[in-house]
Amino acid sequence: MATQSPPVKEMTSRQRVLAALRREPVDRTPVCNPTSVATVELMDLADAPFPGANRDARAMARLAATSYTELGFDSVMPVFSIVQESSALGCNMQWEQKDNWPTVRMSQPIWKDLDDIRIPNDFLSHPDMVCVLDAIRLLRKELGDEVAIIGKTMGPWTLGYHCFGVEPFLLMSLDDPGKTMACLERMKEATVQFGVAQIDAGVDALTVPDHATGDLVSGEYYKRFLMDLHAEFVDTIPVPLILHICGRTVDRMDYIAETGMAAFHFDSKNAPSESMEIVSDRISLVGNINNPETLFAKNPEDVRAEVFANLEAGVPLIGPECAIPLQTRIENLTEIPKAVRDWHGQQGHAH
Ligand SMILES: [Zn+2]
């Protein structure tokens, strides 16, 4: 008779996510959203439309809770946008309306040089920071220990795009790598401060998006500018960290796996099996379900096929690859936890 590991007894959603982030046994693979799963339909259900849900703590918490209560995911993540910190740093903001993401007007950058960089003393008391911190407290109060609450703090590379403009920041990294490193060192304070404040408010884990994306910079760039900084975050921000970088990233996954981050939130441009082969058990992978084609435009059976491909490759947490399009249909999202349950049912045992 083949020896089998003893079955893991039923876990809460929170236990399941946290165990998978530590690469420990789980009763079933968790469904996890390190970035936004907010949609226009969910905004209507929760009476929490954008832009208010990005600026008012109660609306933010109501909309975030729907990933657990309506979609059946194992996590909630209230920081839908990537602009809360940039607003607090003084960037020119466009908050948009219900059906559009808020953005930073990067054509009007606020910083040009190293000495322009300043994290205001009242950074954490800015209303767009307080909104996130209060929403986390509300979610913890309302959902208790049932579900994993994931926060989000933007990495310094992304803050560089927002505050310097994408092109000026990338040009600086070519012209003067030393100055770019010094800029990242100053901006990282914002990442750490906001991350630690969210831990105090009650998050279980934090997503750190840092958009050194496949189409803009190379794997060697990642190694030179960000690998050590990301490893430092693991020491200074004491909860499991989930690094998010979009695009084709297999050329940097080996470096990412060495940072000590708990997980890497990976894009569908990387096949689940090739990605697992690179990272092995050094870091958990999460994500990979395609947004623009599959979740947005295809049908539940297509979603199911991608979920199964991830499960078969041994990916430890399943979810969308990035913040989902706001017009995504609910039935495509609820298919993710359904498919995970069915796959485990067919396997007849937990993985
Ligand atoms: Zn992304």
Residue 210 lies in a domain: no
pLDDT the model gives residue 2: 45
CA angle 200, 207, 194 (to 5 degrees): 40
Residues 6+ apart with CB under 8 A from 10: 27
What pLDDT is stored for residue 5 in this prediction? 66
pLDDT in tens, the chain (351 residues): 444 567 789 999 999 999 999 999 999 999 999 999 999 999 999 999 999 999 999 999 999 999 999 999 999 999 999 999 999 999 999 999 999 999 999 899 999 999 999 999 999 999 999 999 999 999 999 999 999 999 999 999 999 999 999 999 999 999 999 999 999 999 999 999 999 999 999 999 999 999 998 888 999 999 999 999 999 999 999 999 999 999 999 999 999 999 999 999 999 999 999 999 999 999 999 999 999 999 999 999 999 999 999 999 999 999 999 999 999 999 999 999 999 999 999 987 555
User: What token pair was written down for 86?
Assistant: 């940039």
The pTM assigned to this predicted structure is: 0.96
Domain assignment present for residue 241? The answer is no
Residue 322 alpha carbon to ligand 1 centre in Å: 4
Q: Detail the DSSP E strand segments found in 101-257.
A: 103-104, 148-152, 205-209, 241-244
pLDDT at 349: 53
Look at residue 71 and tell me if it is in a domain.
Answer: yes
Q: Do 313 and 295 form a contact (C-beta atoms < 8 A)?
A: no
pLDDT of residue 4: 55
Q: Is residue 222 part of a domain?
A: no
Predicted local confidence at residue 71, as pLDDT: 98
54 located within any domain: yes
- 108 located within any domain: yes
In angstroms, what is the span from residue 6 Cα to ligand 1's centroid? Answer: 37
Cα 244 to ligand 1 centroid, rounded to whole Å: 6
CATH number of the domain encompassing residue 41 = 3.20.20.210
Query: Cα(87)–Cα(159) distance, rounded to whole angstroms?
Result: 11
Residue 55 has a CB neighbour count (10 Å cut-off) of 18
Cα of 348 from ligand 1 centre, angstroms: 34
CA–centroid distance, residue 201 to ligand 1 (Å): 25
Distance 199 CA to ligand 1 centre (A): 23
CB 210 within 8 A of CB 156: yes
100-153 pLDDT per residue, tens = 999 999 899 999 999 999 999 999 999 999 999 999 999 999 999 999 999 999
Assess contact for 87 and 160: CB atoms under 8 A.
no
**Could you list the residue range(s) of the whole structural domain that residue 42 is in?**
13-205+290-346
| Å from CA of 242 to ligand 1 middle | 12
- Domain contains 66: yes
Tally the residues of the chain: 351
Q: How many domains does the chain have?
A: 1
User: Which residue matches tokens 């918490």?
Assistant: 61
* pLDDT score recorded for residue 214: 83
Q: Helix, strand or coil for residue 284?
A: strand
Q: How far is ligand 1, taken at its centre, from the CA of residue 209, in Å?
A: 7
Q: Which long-range contacts (CB under 8 A, 24 or more apart) does 127-131 make?
A: 127/55, 128/54, 128/55, 128/84, 128/87, 128/88, 129/84, 129/85, 129/88, 129/194, 129/197, 130/57, 131/54, 131/55, 131/56, 131/57, 131/60, 131/84
H helix runs in 22-56, sequence order: 40-46
Q: In angstroms, what is the span from residue 233 Cα to ligand 1's centroid?
A: 19
Question: For residue 269, is it within any domain?
Answer: no
| Residue 144 falls in which region: left (phi positive, over 0), alpha (psi -120 to 50) or beta | left
Give the Å distance between the CA of 45 and the centre of ligand 1: 25
